[in-house]
Amino acid sequence: MKIQFAVQTGSRYHSTRLQTVLSGWWPVARRRGHELTVYTDSLYAIAGATVRKIDIADSYNSAIDKTMAAVNDPCDADWLIIADDDSYFFVSRLEAFLAKLNPRARIAAGYKKTFSVDPASPAIPILHGGPGMILSRPTLRAIQGKPWARHEINSDVTLSMLLNQEGVRVIHADGMLHTQPADPSTCISCHMVRDQKTAARLGGFQ
């Protein structure tokens, strides 16, 4: 199994949030043969990883441009996981979860909720971007090059709309949390890990 992690960040977070990735879960994932591409607004050297500069001013609004780049870039891994710079992964449990899924199927997985784009539209499954959005390679092939109907500034909603449009099955993962976990020992991934102290504490549960 091979995972391609795509982490979205910006230069204002290179010395803070990004460091929780580089000194936290990424060394574990790297040792297990996985790959990392960082999408940001300025070049930043990272040993063992690829940095992709997105030529747009960094802001919350630019997250969708980084997501689009990650989806449309070449990927030879079984799974692409799009994540934030404050996402945290428990790599062995992530691998165990993915081992139960079919990498040859058109599926996406993560923290799933439902959302109505507008009052006249039915609710569709939405993946919360914080704990990571998992896409199989067949899913990538289905959505690469397709037009994106931006939903205001929400990159996860916009991506989920495209998945729904292309008939991709969306799976909820119980251990992928949109906040920090009460019990890290059962967690696959979580969100809002923004300092080294928290990352170090969670590292004891890898």
Grouping H, G, I as helix, E, B as strand and the rest as coil, residue 26 is helix
* More confident site: 28 or 64: 28
Span 130-188, pLDDT tens digits: 999 999 999 999 999 998 877 665 889 999 999 999 999 999 999 999 999 999 999 99
Sign of CA dihedral 156, 16, 78, 47: positive
pLDDT at 56: 81
pLDDT of residue 53: 95
pTM: 0.95
Q: pLDDT for 84-98, tens place per residue?
A: 999 999 999 999 999
Q: What's the mean pLDDT when you consider all of the chain?
A: 94
Residue 168 sits in a domain whose CATH number is 3.90.550.50
124-127/3-8 β-pairing: unpaired
- Count: domains in the chain: 1
Tokens found for residue 112: 């799933």
Structural domain containing residue 39: 3-203
% of the chain beyond a pLDDT of 90: 83
Tokens of 87: 């996402």
Q: In this model, does residue 9 exceed pLDDT 70?
A: yes
pLDDT (average), residues 195-206: 96
What distances in angstroms separate CA 52 from CA 6, 62, 69, 71, 179, one per listed residue? 10, 14, 9, 13, 27
Which of 200, 197, 196, 157 is CA-nearest to residue 17?
196
Instruction: Give me the mean pLDDT over the 110-139 stretch.
Output: 92
Work out the average pLDDT over 13-21: 96
pLDDT of residue 8 exceeding 80: yes
Length of the chain: 206
Q: Answer whether residue 22 shows pLDDT above 90.
A: yes
Whose tokens are 């300025």? That residue is: 42
Cα distances (Å, whole numbers) of residue 22 to 32, 55, 100, 186: 15, 23, 27, 22
Identify the pLDDT of residue 120. Answer: 84
Distance, CA of 122 to CA of 104 (rounded, Å): 29
How far apart CA 201 and CA 53 sit, in angstroms, is 31
The reported pLDDT for the residue numbered 149 is 78
Q: Residue 17: which of 89, 111, 88, 94 has the closest Cα?
A: 88
Average pLDDT over every residue of 110-138: 92
Span 36-77, pLDDT tens digits:
999 999 988 998 999 999 988 777 777 889 999 999 999 999
Structure tokens at 195: 């300092």
